[in-house]
Amino acid sequence: MIKQILFSVSLLATLGIFAYSVNKYYQYFKLTRSLPIGDYGKRFNMMMQVAFGQNKILRRPVIGLIHALVFWGFIVITVGSMEMVIDGLFGTDRFLGILGGFYSFVVGSGDVMALFIAVAMIVFLYRRLVMKVKRFDGVEMSHKAHNDAHMALTIILLLMVSLLGMNTFYVAEKTLAGEEIVGVYPVSQFFAGFVGNADVHLWHEINWWAHILLIFLFANYLPYSKHFHVYMSIPNVFLSRLEPLGQLYNMESITKEVKLMLDPNAAFSGAPDDGGEVERFGVKDIEDVNWKNYMDSLTCTQCGRCTSVCPANITGKLLSPRKIIMNIRTRMEEKGAGLIKNGKDFDDKKALLGDYITAEELWACTTCNACAQECPVNINHPSIIIDMRRYLVMEQSAAPSELNTIFQNIENNGAPWQFSQDDRLKWTDELYMNA
């Protein structure tokens, strides 16, 4: 009974803190612009291929397969975590054992995967601390960002060790008591042979509490960690864009103005101004991004795959697609609370564009979409880059000189070339002369 009370208090505290975090991010999402979605059938197929099938991760066969197996292993182990919540609340022991053979398959798979994930975490930490894989570094990867990754990997390692310890001492306890073992534990059965004369019940309880409390800790650590993608990756992939990567969204306000200009009746219709607030063209600060841009920033795994394939970054330019996405999350964390408290007029004298992301970074992008193609969680980096460029061009007239020349030619000559419209077909004269 005491165990149930302590567990209930721990669970309520965990849920309370988690609810606070959910509400915080909900308020942040309300600050962003809308973006319509649809075609849920295609989205479901994409989710199954990219999120659950891990087909992008598997492009790198060795490390990709390890990461995919970790993901699939977590799905299996989650079933056991739910069982622990039931056991903790109602004082049962291995409650889902009523599922029989299916339960044996799930816990047996989880037991094997726990060992695999523990080894994988050691491999991942080795890659970061010893091998120092190049794509894990960059100007945006601060000491705090590296420590965050190390912390998350260490917690996962401890989760797997405590899970194996719990299973090992469970098997040992049941074996010593001559009682039935509920489920199958291939790895823990082997480890149980080395337990010796330990107080198996005490050690089972120690590992049980260590595992469940680490789950509660990790659940509330994730929303403030780079590993937020544990929660966000599946919905982010489901809600990712369906259009070809090279296709750019039109701005509705601009489309509307162009249609009015092309409609000869519009000038005489006498349609009253709706009196609404003039929309900012493009993105200057965090309140100008749409909800999907912000969701991308929360989902970013900071793996660096995007930056490692970026031709601009590879050739030494300032652009790092990972930095662009990370800056969105950082800026929202800095300004979001002020916007919520003081309203949309809150101004801290900073902006996403300028203080976090420079024009030089934006214009270095070739919109080749290599970053979006490689991202394992379907983040679309060029979309936010294009929107910030739109602000520079349409609100500040701050396009590079080459583009300004093209704009002037289009305005004066109706074409991007520096020739009058009367001369546009002169190049065909040679064709007729040689015919």
104: in domain: yes
**CATH number for the domain that contains residue 213:** 1.20.950
What pTM value is reported for the model?
0.89
pLDDT given for residue 413 in this prediction: 81
218: in domain: yes
Alpha-carbon distance values, 376 to 19, 44, 46, 226 (Å): 28, 16, 12, 14
Q: Mean pLDDT across the stretch 386-391? A: 95
Question: From the CA atom positions of the chain, what is the Rg in Å?
Answer: 28
Do 225 and 348 belong to one domain? no
User: In the structure encoding, which two tokens stand for residue 432, read together?
Assistant: 């007729």
**CATH number for the domain that contains residue 375:** 1.10.1060
pLDDT given for residue 183 in this prediction: 93
Q: Read off the pLDDT of residues 286-345 as tens digits, 9 standing for 90 and up.
A: 999 999 999 999 999 999 999 999 999 999 999 999 999 999 999 999 999 999 999 988
The whole-angstrom separation of Cα 181 and Cα 202 is 18
Q: Print the domain residue range for 256.
A: 252-264+277-399
Of 199-208, 341-350, 359-368, 407-416, the one with minimum mean pLDDT is 407-416
The number of folded domains in the chain is 2
Evaluate if residue 272 carries a pLDDT over 60. no
Of residues 268 and 418, more confidently modeled: 418
β-pair partners for 357:
353
pLDDT given for residue 408 in this prediction: 85
| CA-based nearest residue to 53, from 65, 42, 62, 41 | 65
Do 211 and 119 belong to one domain? yes
Q: Read off the pLDDT of residues 145-161 as tens digits, 9 standing for 90 and up.
A: 999 999 999 999 999 99
Evaluate if residue 414 carries a pLDDT over 90. no
Evaluate if residue 76 carries a pLDDT over 90. yes
Evaluate if residue 267 carries a pLDDT over 60. no
